[in-house]
Amino acid sequence: MVAGARYDGNDFMVQLTNSPVAPVRKFRALFGTLRSMAIRRIIRMGHPLLRETARELTTDEIASAEIKRLIADMTDTLHDYGGIGLAAPQIGESIRLAIIEIPGGETRYGDLAPLSFSVFINPRIEIVDPATAGYWEGCLSVPGLRGFVERPQHIKVRYLDEKGDELELELTGFPATVFQHEFDHLDGKLYIDRISDMRLLAFDKEFEQHQLMS
């Protein structure tokens, strides 16, 4: 900061134009305060909060700056850890909110249609077809492990987005599993609770080494 320059809104842009650091500050002046990354710590299995039933958000809360901030923090956290979904309880907030972002293309779960980054608040799942299929699931709150879980593969989800709009989404296949896994976190459940054959729980390393499949 140049001595005497005030850092408030557009004023400083003019004042700092001749400063060697002006370009950066000019950028900040044009685009507002640069939001700093906020990567939150993900709590792990054993933390009692992961076993609580999270509470619903009110319309006022959804519109609040606190929830906008929380969604931004969760986004940074998800991208930093490299997951495809994160529920608020996983960062220690016992509220019914989750974010999901499924990159499309060829993955170990097959060829997937991408699901762009979305926020799900107070979601409700309706099972359209109870027929199940299983996937090896992992969880950022249960690091280093994966387990084979069977879940219904055709569901409908009703939820509010970050603007508070009511939306509905129908999902089949792997994405249906992802949504059920994330929303389970809002009810204090972890995927390990749903493994029917505990022999199908493995460390990542052994899973890769022995090419476990089911």
Q: Under the rule (CB under 5 A), what is the footprint of Ni ion?
A: 139
- The answer to whether the CB of 188 falls within 8 A of the CB of 52 is yes
We find the least distance from the C-beta atom of residue 74 to Ni ion, in angstroms, to be 13
- The answer to whether the CB of 191 falls within 8 A of the CB of 184 is yes
Select which of 106, 182, 206, 208 is catalytic. Answer: 182
We find the least distance from the C-beta atom of residue 139 to Ni ion, in angstroms, to be 3
We find the least distance from the C-beta atom of residue 34 to Ni ion, in angstroms, to be 31
Q: What is the amino acid identity at position 135?
A: Y
* Phi, then psi, of 190 in degrees rounded to 5: -115, 160
Q: Which residue is nearest to Ni ion (CB)?
A: 139
Looking at the Cβ atoms of 67 and 139, the one nearer to Ni ion is: 139
Looking at the Cβ atoms of 44 and 163, the one nearer to Ni ion is: 44
Locate the DSSP E strands across the chain.
Answer: 85-87, 97-102, 105-107, 110-112, 115-139, 142-160, 166-172, 201-203
Looking at the Cβ atoms of 139 and 155, the one nearer to Ni ion is: 139
Looking at the Cβ atoms of 16 and 84, the one nearer to Ni ion is: 84
Pick from 177, 181, 187, 184: nearest CA to 155: 177
Instruction: Give me the residue label for tokens 């956290």.
Output: 77
We find the least distance from the C-beta atom of residue 128 to Ni ion, in angstroms, to be 23
Known catalytic residue at 182? yes
Residues acting as catalytic residues? 182
